[in-house]
Chain A
Amino acid sequence: MNLWNWFRSRLAGFRKRQGREKELDREMESHLGLEVEEQLESGLSPEEARYAARRAFGNIRLVREDVHAIWGAVWLERLAGHARYAARSLLKNPGFTVIAVLTLALGIGANTAIFSTIDALMLQPLPFSEPDQLLRIYSTKDGTRVGGINSAGGPSPMDVRDFAESSHSFQKMVVYDTWRKNVSFGSSAGEPEQMRVGLVPAAYFEVLDIQPVMGRLFTQDENQVGKNFVAAISARLWKDRFASDSAILGREIRINDEPYTIVAVMPDSIPEWMEPWRPGLIEVWTPFAFADVWSESSRGSRGYCALARMKPGVSLEEAQAELRTIAAALATTHPVDQGIGVMVRRVSDTRVGELRPMLTLLMGAVSLILLIACVNLANLVMARNSARQRELAVRAALGAGRSELIRQLLAETLLLSLMGGAVGLTLAQIGLAGLARMHPGDLPQLDSIGIDWRVLAFTLLVSLATSLLFGVAPALTGTRLNLVDALKQGGRSGSSGRPTQRLRNALVVTELAMSLMLLVGATLLTRSIIELGRQHLGIRQDHLLKGHIYIPGVRYPNPGAITRFCDAFRTRVRAVPGVIEATVTTVYPPHGGWTQMLNIPGHPFARIQDIPSAQFGVADAHLLETLGIPLLERRDFAESDSATSPPVALISEEFKRRYFPTEDPVGRQIHIGPPPFLQIPPGADITDFADVTVIGVAGDFRNAGLALPPEPQITVLYSQHPLVNYGFKDIVIRTASEPRLLVPEIRRQLHDLDPDMPFAEVQTMDEVVEAETGGQRFTTVLLASFAAAGLVLAAVGIYGVVSFLVAQRKQELAVRIAMGANRVNVVWLVLKQGLETAALGAAIGLFGAWTAQKLVKGLLFGISPVDRLTFLGAAAFLLTVAAIASAIPGVRVLKIDPAQTLRQD
């Protein structure tokens, strides 16, 4: 190939450079020799002759330096000349230049932004030693992870203990938990705040292979209740709160109003995505001390966090297989483990959580954009350079060497690529800032992502290679083969052989197909988001504010105290101007509490799987009114339902439909807890606690996540059920105006009531819902912008092909017009070609979108991945855009002046 030859000659030239010096010396010596000869002939002595020759020649060293300067200067001069010429020739054709630069910039910018993100999120090595050995263990029920996305999803401590005892694939395994607690660092170190505290045995740090910066790990002894009042803090906390005080060990912090002694400072190496379900840095750890987790009765309580480190040389599959075998054995010996499986993931694969499939989709989409951009660029450069073949041929005929022409085209391509790269870099920076601002909720690491220069360099190289391959190379074959032909044919405005044109058409078809795939994907996701947004939560979502409080057991030692505090807080909030109603509850959409087994008299069941269950939560008497859930039958909770009156419950419509399809549920008794034959040792299971009477039926609300239909719901009063009256409570407030404005006043009320209690996790209900769909919206916005970019590029592509067609067939068209053809028919002739290309592209694109349905399927809600309306609509839209893009140059046919056109050239 020409480029190769050129490259080889360059290389040879480089080697010759040293030879050139010798050559210059030889040239000057031969000159001096001749001069000496001549002087000898004129009768001088040899010595005089040599002297005369030298004098006539001048200073040899100076001459040598001058020549060197010329070699360098000429090279620079040429480079500058090429750059100037390239800039001029690009300026002469601003349309081409702008489109090419934007095309490049879109491809480079989008890819740099997305791949920088993906690299930072998914590909960077973990900050742990031998990170590939680290696994997270999940429990599954009937094949899906327990607890859904709102739980750590791990096995129970008893299961983990048995896994560790009977397996051989692991060095170490650990089960732990994280809790929200109120932490205060003493009067000197600031206000108390709600923090997520890691409840971890020493094995947690051992599995991760992290040593304390100072101090020691927890001892086995400290995992017992009562001996657990020791804490480890992060180095960051040590610095921020204690000014890196070297006497930190032995200092005290208060967690939920209990004193803990600091025994260790841990390095800041645990990333914020580390803990599942709720990302964020954990900066305080205390031992994993629970009275009841290590007893047989707790085997069924899943949802803890579990980590393991494999032995060297053990594969993920082997580890998974071994745990499966153990889990299957446990299921046969323990009834509560029936149907429970186990699943492991590399910790490195858990870091983007639920966003992983979306990021994969985006990665595919953005690669398509780069492909489309390259196709476009190839087309543009090809069209331009083949239209310029005549110019190139003329310049060649005038004596410009081939290498000169190659250099010229190279200079242009490089200049274009540099401009595209510069604009693309700007786009990427804007894009990254935008990504960080969109902040899909569960990716805190997004904030710190910068441009990945390797990605930028890679995309720049790809586009450079494209324009060289498709633009410069064919143009050069032209200059070598048909110097004369090109001049002759050039008379008939430019030449490009049939194969070139066919290649160009194929490229545009490809690009149309790819942009249609993007369009279909984006439309599907958008419609899915709209569908999700349209989901009626079952409440009045507007003007609702929620916040979390933790009522510490130290100062509120019994359920009565907790109830009194909640009532007092609600009453104070209720009295704040602008508050319409307020409720203290654990129940609000899109979650309805926890799944609770029930015992409904008159509902026999044969298998464990058939035990009735429902979403279960506690609230005060103002739940329905505050949230705006309609009461469908009988009565709501009332203030008169007190600790001393008979326990009552509200059920949902779905509950009635499933468990009382034919009878009136009101007045029926329900036992909250598993049926008698599952009875666990007495006193151990706090969820087996009471009989309640149904007093009314309320409307359904989304209690199992936004995307799932409502599950049966049963709600009771915490004032009537001390056993489930925990210190964790949320308050939901209905306001008359913008809810956020009331936050300071509500904080003040809480502070007045208990100055040491933080008001945490404050969100409006709209924000709660938004956070649930954050990842979806993130993907949708990105995919939609890619689809838009793809569409623009495809439109440019087809515009290019048709305008080229018009330019090339101008003579023929002029003849047709001169012979009396109807101009509209002539325009149609051109348009038709554009539309045919577009139709072919659309057909292939539809097929592609159909085959790609698996990719988007999991991300869609309420819409089929092969939704007919979307497919046809997107195709129609693409064809319309293509028609407009071809019509613009097509209309130029109308302006052809046959007389003038035929006289041309």
Chain B
Amino acid sequence: MATVMTLHKSPHRTELLQGTLDMLILRTLLFGPAHGHQIAKHIQRTTEDVLQVEHGSLYPALHRMERKGWIISKWETPKDRNREFKYYRLTPPGRKQLASEESRWKRLTAAVATLMWPAPGDPS
């Protein structure tokens, strides 16, 4: 599946795991409902443009997660606009999924960190 996130304008184009993009989206939705453009912008802004999501790649991910029941969607008109946007929001299973993704991610980064920068006194 081509749901990849790429780091644009960077010498190292890195492909991230599908689960990671899911986690970022779920995390974004933790603050409240958002539509696709908002999610993309939020990820971009909060990572200070380090992670630039190819906007299109969000949609397969969103639809997949909706099918899995982690998020639900609804067309709504925001107060400051006269057009409808499709808003996504988190469901309880989505929260659970986010929690497990987070802990997995933490374990992964912690493992990588210990490998890269062993704590002083560590025998290795």
Beta-carbon contacts of B2-34 to A below 8 Å, as 1s and 0s?
Answer: 110000000000000000000000000000000
User: Is A863 an interface residue when CB atoms closer than 8 A count as contact?
Assistant: no
Q: Name the B residues within 8 Å of A74 (CB-CB).
A: 64, 67-68
* B59 adjacent to A67 (CB under 8 Å): yes
User: Is B37 an interface residue when CB atoms closer than 8 A count as contact?
Assistant: yes
* A63 adjacent to B83 (CB under 8 Å): no
* A70 adjacent to B63 (CB under 8 Å): yes
Q: With A66-B3, A70-B63 given, is the CB distance from A58 to B68 under 8 Å?
A: no
* A34 adjacent to B2 (CB under 8 Å): no
Q: Name the B residues within 8 Å of A33 (CB-CB).
A: 83
Stretch binding the partner chain, chosen from A22-30, A114-122, A497-505: A22-30
User: Is A401 an interface residue when CB atoms closer than 8 A count as contact?
Assistant: yes
CA distance A404 to B60 in the complex (A): 22
* B1 adjacent to A69 (CB under 8 Å): yes
For chain A residues 13-40, which have a beta carbon within 8 Å of chain B? Answer: 23-24, 26-28, 30-31, 33-35
* A34 adjacent to B37 (CB under 8 Å): yes
* A401 adjacent to B54 (CB under 8 Å): no
Q: Name the B residues within 8 Å of A35 (CB-CB).
A: 37, 55
Our pick among B35, B55, B60, B69 for the contact of A67 (Cβ within 8 Å) is: B60
* B37 adjacent to A31 (CB under 8 Å): yes
* A58 adjacent to B57 (CB under 8 Å): yes
CA distance A414 to B73 in the complex (A): 32
Using CB atoms, name the residue of chain A closest to B83: A30
User: Is A85 an interface residue when CB atoms closer than 8 A count as contact?
Assistant: no
* A57 adjacent to B69 (CB under 8 Å): no
User: Is A246 an interface residue when CB atoms closer than 8 A count as contact?
Assistant: no
User: Is B118 an interface residue when CB atoms closer than 8 A count as contact?
Assistant: no
CA distance A671 to B81 in the complex (A): 123
Q: Name the A residues within 8 Å of B55 (CB-CB).
A: 31, 35, 56-58
User: Is B86 an interface residue when CB atoms closer than 8 A count as contact?
Assistant: yes
* A27 adjacent to B86 (CB under 8 Å): yes
* A399 adjacent to B93 (CB under 8 Å): yes
* B91 adjacent to A58 (CB under 8 Å): no
Q: Name the B residues within 8 Å of A69 (CB-CB).
A: 1, 60
**What is the interface residue range for chain B against chain A?**
20 to 34
For chain B residues 85-115, which have a beta carbon within 8 Å of chain A? Answer: 85-86, 91-93
Q: Name the A residues within 8 Å of B86 (CB-CB).
A: 23, 26-27, 30
User: Is A71 an interface residue when CB atoms closer than 8 A count as contact?
Assistant: yes
CA distance A398 to B69 in the complex (A): 12
CA distance A779 to B85 in the complex (A): 73
* B67 adjacent to A66 (CB under 8 Å): no
Our pick among A31, A59, A67, A399 for the contact of B91 (Cβ within 8 Å) is: A399
For chain B residues 55-79, which have a beta carbon within 8 Å of chain A? Answer: 55-57, 59-60, 63-64, 67-69
* B60 adjacent to A57 (CB under 8 Å): no
CA distance A30 to B55 in the complex (A): 12
Using CB atoms, name the residue of chain B closest to A37: B37
Output the least CB separation between A23 and chain B (Å).
8
User: Is A741 an interface residue when CB atoms closer than 8 A count as contact?
Assistant: no
Using CB atoms, name the residue of chain A closest to B69: A399
Q: Name the B residues within 8 Å of A78 (CB-CB).
A: 67
Which has the most chain A C-beta neighbours within 10 Å: B1, B59, B64, B86?
B59
Our pick among B36, B54, B69, B83 for the contact of A58 (Cβ within 8 Å) is: B54
User: Is A575 an interface residue when CB atoms closer than 8 A count as contact?
Assistant: no
* B60 adjacent to A70 (CB under 8 Å): yes
Output the least CB separation between A75 and chain B (Å).
8
* A59 adjacent to B37 (CB under 8 Å): no
* A63 adjacent to B60 (CB under 8 Å): yes
Q: Name the A residues within 8 Å of B85 (CB-CB).
A: 30
CA distance A398 to B93 in the complex (A): 8
Beta-carbon contacts of A616-659 to B below 8 Å, as 1s and 0s?
Answer: 00000000000000000000000000000000000000000000
Output the least CB separation between A723 and chain B (Å).
96
Using CB atoms, name the residue of chain A closest to B53: A56
User: Is A60 an interface residue when CB atoms closer than 8 A count as contact?
Assistant: yes
CA distance A35 to B84 in the complex (A): 15
Which has the most chain B C-beta neighbours within 10 Å: A24, A30, A401?
A30
CA distance A62 to B57 in the complex (A): 9
Beta-carbon contacts of A45-79 to B below 8 Å, as 1s and 0s?
Answer: 00000000000111110110011011100100010
Using CB atoms, name the residue of chain A closest to B57: A58
Extra contacts besides A33-B83, A66-B60 (7): CB < 8 Å: A24-B63, A27-B59, A35-B55, A56-B54, A59-B56, A66-B2, A66-B57
Interchain residue pairs A-B with the least CB separation, the first 10: A58-B56, A66-B60, A63-B56, A74-B67, A57-B55, A58-B54, A34-B37, A70-B64, A57-B56, A31-B37
List 20 A-B residue pairs with CB atoms under 8 Å apart, sorted by A's residue number.
A24-B59, A24-B63, A27-B36, A27-B59, A27-B86, A30-B35, A31-B35, A35-B55, A57-B54, A57-B56, A62-B2, A63-B56, A63-B59, A69-B60, A70-B1, A74-B67, A78-B67, A398-B92, A399-B92, A404-B69
